[in-house]
Amino acid sequence: MVAHRTIMNETTYDKLLARLRRVYLLESVAGLLSWDEQVNLPPASAGQRADQSGLLADLRHREFTVPEMGEWLDGLEGEDASLTDDQRTVVRWTRRDYDRARKLPAKFVTDRAEHQSKTFHAWAAARKADDFASYMPWLEKTLAFAKEEAGLLGWGERAYDYHIDLHDPGMTADRVAGLFDALRGPLVELSESILGSSRQADLSVFRGFPNDRQREFIQSVLEKIGFDFTRGRLDVSLHPFCSGDAADTRMTTRFDPDNPLDALFSSIHETGHAIYGQQLPLEDRFNPLGQPVGMAVHESQSRLWENQICRSRPFWNHFEPLFRETFSEQLSAVSSEELYLAINAVHRNPIRVDADEVTYNLHILLRFELEKGLFDGSIAVADLPEAWKELSRDIIGLTPRNDAEGVLQDVHWSGGAFGYFPSYCLGNMMAAQLWYALRDDLPDLDDHIGAGQFAAIRDWLREKIHRHGRRFDTDELTRRATGGALGPEALLRYLKERYAPLYLG
């Protein structure tokens, strides 16, 4: 009987994996179309791309919700005792995703995908023209889709919880609010102390850095820290992002000749995402064993590389000579200490992606409050520009000059990615905890970084995070990797240890 059950399970399980592979390949094609839309698509071709996106969403939905999927899951769940732990992981997550997908009508899925494709272009045009009014009806419809989706899945009054859970399974708005409340006061106090310091970085030294040489330097850095260009590439887009998987990883950045650090650190940030993707189990990329836990964990990987590792003195002890060689004329009058202070500059900035790591999380707290208001009805889409300005004054300490550097600055809402923003701050918390655990396990970490040797870091991250896929949720993975629950304490400790000596010493 046991042997019979094992054979039956293996056969059924193989069918499940084969179907998941088909579904995933459709997702990857849709991902490439989305990447192309932001990197290469001719402006007049946007209408056809919306139709293509809608068709692929429909095909993926139909492939995933066939009745056989439910039958296979029922059979495997009925034979749970004969499954391995890994098989249970695949069945558990597939059941969750399958049950949700079945509740979404195919027309809803298609219409939403087409709308999101069109809305990206509406957002890009509105941002360029500083014209929120033209974007407002698109965003209102996007929000309506988001609320309808949550309602179809039975979340009702907890629509925002659904979207947070979509990006970070198990998280809720209340849990996030508790973590953010514990962070806000100490973070504001620290940032005000630093901003009030008489020692400030001079960013005016960065002028006239040719884009082609920026790209040359960035590629050298990314190759050294571990991005595999044989399985990925770096391009240019309006808003930097990373997409793809272990087999094909697509990253983008943007260049400004008067702000070379923007392209560098945005590229490193996306490379943190990419290294996570490239180090997930390649053979399991079609199923939960080879897929990321959620966006907080993903952001912990990008922020760890961007900030803790690549803004450190050991990192720049190694890369400063190459940076100076690449930009000898531009840096001739800039001392090493001035350069390092500029790399770790702290200043009020209305733009989230340009914010330093001390004030960055305040930008996330702002967006979290706005998203809560959008979903509980206390903020209408039409009121967003003024609500943004008011919260920016209250939380960040400045008022955006216009909507382009306020409510229109981020791409996320154009794609319906409500609930994503909290992941950045949660990821910063986890990154700081990982940093201290990494230092404990690798006492000579600074020597590795200073020598430009990053393999030990990648191996540690693979062992602690990447190899697990979706076996554990964010909280459990954090505990296993760092020995403690996810919280703000390590982040506050790290920020004080990194920035107090620079500005308050």
233: part of which helix (H) or strand (E)?
Answer: strand 232-236
| Distance (Å, whole) CA 129 – CA 126 | 5
Q: Catalytic one among 114, 149, 270, 306? A: 270
61: part of which helix (H) or strand (E)?
Answer: helix 46-64
CA 217 to chain centre: 24
Provide the 3-class DSSP secondary structure of residue 172. coil
| Distance (Å, whole) CA 281 – CA 291 | 8
Task: Record the tokens describing residue 478, joined without a space.
Answer: 């954090």
407 closest CA partner among 121, 37, 139: 139
| Distance (Å, whole) CA 439 – CA 433 | 10
Q: Residue 112 carries which side chain, given as an amino acid letter?
A: R
Residues 6+ apart with CB under 8 A from 13: 72, 76, 83, 87, 90
| Distance (Å, whole) CA 180 – CA 171 | 13
Residues 6+ apart with CB under 8 A from 454: 224, 225, 226, 309, 448
* Packing angle of the helix pair 455-464, 421-441 (nearest 10 deg): 110
Known catalytic residue at 114: no
Tell me the sheet residues that pair with 209: none
Provide the 3-class DSSP secondary structure of residue 452. coil
Active site residue ranges: 270
